[in-house]
Chains A and B, each alone.
Chain A
Amino acid sequence: MRGSKMVGCAIVVALAATACGGGGSDEGDKSKAGGGFSMNIAEPKRLVPQSTTESGGSQVLSGLFTPLVDFDAKNQPVLAAAESIESPDNKVWTVKLKDATWHDGKPVTAKDYVGAWNWGAYGPNAADGNYFFGTIAGYDEMNPVDPDGEEGPKKAAEPKAKELSGLKAIDDKTIEITLKAPFAGYKSVLGYTVFYPMPESALADIKAYEEAPIGQGPFQMDGKWNHDKFVKVKAYKDYKLGEKPKVDSVEFRIFQDQNTAYNDLLANNLDIVDQIPTEVMGTAPSELGERFKTSTASTFQFVAFPTYDKKYSDPRIRKAISMAIDRDEIIKVVFQDSQASARSFVSPVVGGYRENTCGEACKFDPAAAKKLFTEAGGVEGNKINIGHNADGGHEQWINATCDQLKKNLGLECVSQAVPKFAELLTQVENKKFSGMFRMGWIMDYPSMENYLGPLYSTGGSSNYYGYSNKDFDRLLQEGREAKTEAEAIKKWQEAEDILAKDMPVIPLRFGKNNFGHSTNVKNVEMNLFNQVELTKVEKS
């Protein structure tokens, strides 16, 4: 229908295109926005839970779905769609579901979860959230590895299985998950977007489903996903899984540029902007007054030392470099306070976070830094370089860091740009990049382990710098197998202390959510997944 209208316009365009603009009745109508609010998102890549890991899509899905577990003010997991989540040995987990209905009225069953997760774990479906299922038994059979690497002539074998052997629907309300290895923090993992269910009918035609996803959450779709323009949702009347929304509807408006969204917020046309651009951070607090808000975000920025580069093999050198960096200064000048200084290896959003675990090494002390640096004999050629990807906008802070190192350690420091992040990673993996390089980490699941395992364990999935410490690996594993979350955290904290001694990376910054809202709404909060808490927002 819509398509045919558009074609009609295209033909008469040369002179009369302007006439086509009229009649926007099917698009946002401001006069009817009485009981709802609007917020900005980027165009979602997909709206399939198992394939949604970016912010725009997961924000929309957070309204349409209720996760098995949610997180309280202290970032501890609390049950949401699940009645109970238990495990005798941290390996076999039994999830009992609360009674719930899909937006079309059908009951939600354990099979809906199992089906959706199997879809996500099946390699050929190329779901973005695929690797989240990697800890469940049977994942490897569904995701065979290319025997001779992607460059080689051999193609990856067809997957042997289409379903996870470690996943079973015991009855309508019970799911049994068997992990490859015990993991004490698994409950927290289940709070992520990719563990939402999908109705069984969705799997037959995923493409059709994602145009208007049916969920079991506080909001349901109001019409279809209008690509590049908006997604509208309305309150789901029969919602029983938790707090009911305080508004009738939400309009997710799709913006190409955060600056535009911010201007719309200033004009009170848009109710919530979830990330205020750094360019306007200087003026936003005064322009918005108390409608300007901040909260801790899960991102972590650091500089890593490749272990193959012998220049940095002495921990004293690494500590001296860290001590010579004035984090607060860079955050103030370059980032306009849009991020926070990091002096720990683990983000404040997860349980087990302690302030200042990095200790002396992350305290700005140019005199001590210089002394330690000289004691350790300095670096070869008295010259270092910091690598970064030119497409990520890192030039400015890397240069500022280099200037500080030059001044405080009296050495030569060069910022070395590689065009793309992927290229930087490839160079590091092939040990072709010499020098320190920047890295960033976005939390996958709210557990301390997520800031340790992938980044520093031997062979960890994002351990590009090749750090390896047997004690660290042992403590990490002991934590995973611990009986209780508290015991696990204790082990992981011990592991974090090892990092402080070895300094495989220099912690620099934790992310912050800098958000703002219009005069039409109040109670705007953001959670640890960097999403606006839709059910809490009220009209003012």
Chain B
Amino acid sequence: MGRYVARRLLQMLPVIIGTTFLVFALVTAMGGDPVQNLYGERPVPEGIRAALTAQYHLDDPLPIRYGYYLAGLVQGDFGTSLSGSRPISEMIADAWPETLRIAGIAFAFEMVIGVAAGVMAGMRRGKFLDNLVLLSTLTVIAIPIFVLGQVSQIFLGVKAGIFPVSGTNEGFYSYLLPGLVLGSVSLAYIARLARASVAENLRMDYVRTAKAKGLSPSRITGIHVLRNSLIPVVTYLGADLGSLMGGAIVTERIFNIPGVGYNLFKAIQIEDGPALVGFVTLLVVVYVVMALVVDLLYAVLDPRIRYA
């Protein structure tokens, strides 16, 4: 187990180097002019262009620029952003907690409500509750998230005044509505996944055996069926937590949450290579760790799975 984890962690290194290089190369390949982007539609004075070019090694070939970046990264230095020249590590430290908060709410919401709705629907297949869950999840999946976000902001925030409209001024409460909006789409997928999985497992031989042995229905579903049904759900949840923590560009923008999504959006807009690579590096680490956690959870859910 320990060796397995260590091996997986070591595998992260080439993944991080590969992805950061790819992103770095892609930003360069965009072929834009980051210095001009900073100036919008104003002409850039020659002296300023020279100074910025030297500062960010913009005229060096790609491998050398990447070398500079990697050398800094090894020393824990993410570099400085092209816009406003803030240290990127500071930007990450400010932005990530914001994203984690709405991601946390979204994740808790989709996990608790999604799994519960899915399991109940799966057990009452074809009944009213099942149809209700199927219909409502289909509706949520069909609505794009920016519509969902803006509509809920206008009706629940501006018109009804139940939730703060935007921003992070009101503590936990500020993150609630964006979190629920963000979680709603995944919730729908999870409910459907859990429903299908439970319905399938209920028809398995082991359930019939358990019934024949005289086990109570609550023990059969609560322990045996649920545990076996959760493997696909956990796989989905793990991947989803990874993407939730990577920030939500649309939701963060609508609700004015200064998280990872906002920073990525800004960095892409002005082709801020250092900031983009910094944030993507973070995302890569999150994804790889989440994949590992999911794999380890399999072993907990299904004792037949062993890692060595």
| Smallest beta-carbon distance B173→chain A, Å | 8
- Contacts of A440 on B, CB cut-off 8 Å? 41
Q: Which residue of the partner chain B has the closest CB to A54?
A: B40
B93 and A7 form a contact (CB under 8 A): yes
The smallest C-beta distance from B114 to any residue of chain A, in angstroms, reads: 16
Cβ of A229: which chain B residues have Cβ within 8 Å of it?
Answer: 167-168, 258
Determine whether A146 belongs to the interface, using a CB cutoff of 8 Å to chain B: yes
Contact partner of A263 (CB less than 8 A), chosen from B53, B157, B253, is B157
Q: Known: A260-B253, A263-B154. Is A145-B47 also a contact (CB below 8 A)?
A: yes
> A253-276: which residues lie under 8 A (CB-CB) from chain B?
253-257, 259-261, 263-264, 266-267, 269
* Complex contacts, B43 vs chain A, CB 8 Å: 131, 461-462
Question: A228 to B262, Cβ gap below 8 A?
Answer: yes
Task: Check A24–B174 contact: CB distance below 8 A.
Answer: yes
Report A135 CB to chain B, min CB distance, Å: 13
Measured CB to CB, the closest approach of chain A to B250, in angstroms, equals: 10
Contact segment of A11-19, A59-67, A233-241, A329-337: A11-19
**Inter-chain contact B256/A18, CB cutoff 8 Å:** no
CB–CB B51/A150 < 8 A: no
Q: A30 CA to B168 CA in the complex, in Å?
A: 12
Taking CB atoms, residues of chain B closer than 8 Å to A145 are 46-47
Question: Does B168 lie within 8 Å of A254, measured CB to CB?
Answer: no
Min distance, Cβ A454 to any Cβ of chain B, angstroms: 8
Interface size class of B (residues with CB under 8 A): 35 or more
**Contact B258–A256 (Cβ < 8 Å):** yes
Spot the interface stretch: A121-129, A162-170, A488-496, A497-505. Answer: A121-129
| Contact across chains for B166 and A21 when beta carbons are under 8 A apart | no
CB-CB under 8 A from A88, the residues of chain B are: none
Q: Is A27's beta carbon under 8 Å from chain B?
A: yes
B119 located at the interface, meaning its Cβ lies under 8 Å from any Cβ of chain A in the complex: no
Whether A266 pairs with B158 at a CB distance below 8 angstroms is yes
Task: Tell yes or no: B153 within 8 A of A by CB.
Answer: yes
Distance of A423 Cα from B254 Cα, bound (Å): 30
For window 139-176 of B, CB contacts with A under 8 Å fall at 150, 153-154, 157-158, 161, 164-175
Stretch at the interface among B11-19, B31-39, B187-195, B215-223: B31-39
Pick from A127, A159, A420, A439: contact of B37, CB under 8 Å: A420
Q: Does A156 contact B (CB under 8 A)?
A: yes
Instruction: Report the minimal beta-carbon distance from B84 to chain A, rounded to whole angstroms.
Output: 5
Does the CB pair A156–B50 fall under 8 Å? yes
Across the interface, name the chain A residue whose C-beta is closest to B46: A145
Q: How far is the CA of A126 from the CA of B39 in the complex (A)?
A: 12
In whole angstroms, what is the CA distance A128 to B85 when docked? 12
Q: Which residues of chain A from 2 to 38 have any CB-CB distance to chain B below 8 Å in the complex? A: 3, 6-7, 9-10, 13-24, 27-30
Taking CB as reference atom, which chain B residue is nearest A44? B84
Q: Which of A6, A7, A142, A159 has the most CB of B within 10 A?
A: A6
The answer on a CB contact under 8 Å between A123 and B168 is: no
Distance, CA A54 to CA B83, complexed state (A) = 12
Find the B residue at minimum CB distance from A134.
B45
Given known A7-B93, A257-B254, contact A126–B52 (CB-CB < 8 A) = yes
- CB neighbours of B45 from chain A (8 A): 123, 130-131, 134, 143
B103 within 8 A of A: yes
In the complex, which residues of chain A have a beta carbon less than 8 angstroms from the beta carbon of B105?
A: 17-18, 21
- B95-131 interface mask toward A, CB cutoff 8 Å, 1 = contact, 0 = none? 1110011011101100000000000000000000000
| Residues 127-176 of A at the B interface (beta carbon under 8 Å) | 127-128, 130-131, 134, 142-146, 150, 155-156, 159
The smallest C-beta distance from B218 to any residue of chain A, in angstroms, reads: 25
Tell which of B46, B93, B262, B265 touches A146, judged by Cβ atoms closer than 8 Å.
Answer: B46
* B204 interface residue per 8 A CB criterion: no
Q: Which residues of A contact B258 (CB under 8 A)?
A: 227-229, 254, 256
A422 at the interface (CB under 8 A from B): yes
Q: Are B41 and A421 in contact (CB under 8 A)?
A: yes
B221 to chain A, nearest CB (A): 24
Minimum distance in angstroms from B75 CB to a CB of chain A: 19
CB-based contact A17/B100 at 8 Å: yes
Known A130-B48, A267-B161, A267-B165; contact A155-B32, beta-carbon cutoff 8 A: no
User: CA of A419 to CA of B52 in the docked complex: distance in angstroms?
Assistant: 23
Shortest CB-to-CB span from B164 to chain A, Å, is: 7
Is there an interface contact between A421 and B36, defined as CB atoms closer than 8 Å?
yes
From A43, A146, A425, B50 is in contact (CB under 8 Å) with A146
Q: How far is the CA of A30 from the CA of B169 in the complex (A)?
A: 8
A143-B46, A146-B46 given; A6·B40 CB < 8 A: no
CA distance A13 to B293 in the complex (A): 14
A269 to B103, CA, bound (A): 25
- Distance of B168 from chain A, by nearest CB (Å): 6
Please, which residues of chain A bring their CB within 8 A of the CB of B205? none
State A44–B158 Cα separation when bound (angstroms).
27
> A257–B146 Cα gap in the complex (Å)?
13
- Is B84 within 8 A of A24, CB to CB? no
By Cβ-Cβ distance, the 3 closest A-B pairs, closest first, are A17-B104, A123-B47, A228-B258
A-B contact pairs, 18 of them (CB 8 A): A10-B96, A20-B101, A21-B101, A24-B169, A30-B169, A43-B84, A45-B38, A53-B42, A134-B45, A150-B46, A150-B49, A150-B59, A156-B46, A253-B167, A260-B165, A264-B166, A269-B166, A425-B36
Beyond contacts A18-B105, A134-B45, A255-B256: 17 other A-B pairs, Cβ-Cβ < 8 A, are: A9-B101, A28-B167, A30-B169, A46-B84, A46-B85, A123-B48, A128-B39, A130-B45, A131-B43, A145-B46, A150-B46, A256-B262, A261-B166, A267-B157, A420-B36, A422-B37, A439-B41
- Chain A interface (Cβ within 8 Å of chain B)? 3, 6-7, 9-10, 13-24, 27-30, 43-46, 53-54, 123-128, 130-131, 134, 142-146, 150, 155-156, 159, 207, 227-229, 253-257, 259-261, 263-264, 266-267, 269, 419-423, 425-426, 439-440, 442, 461-462
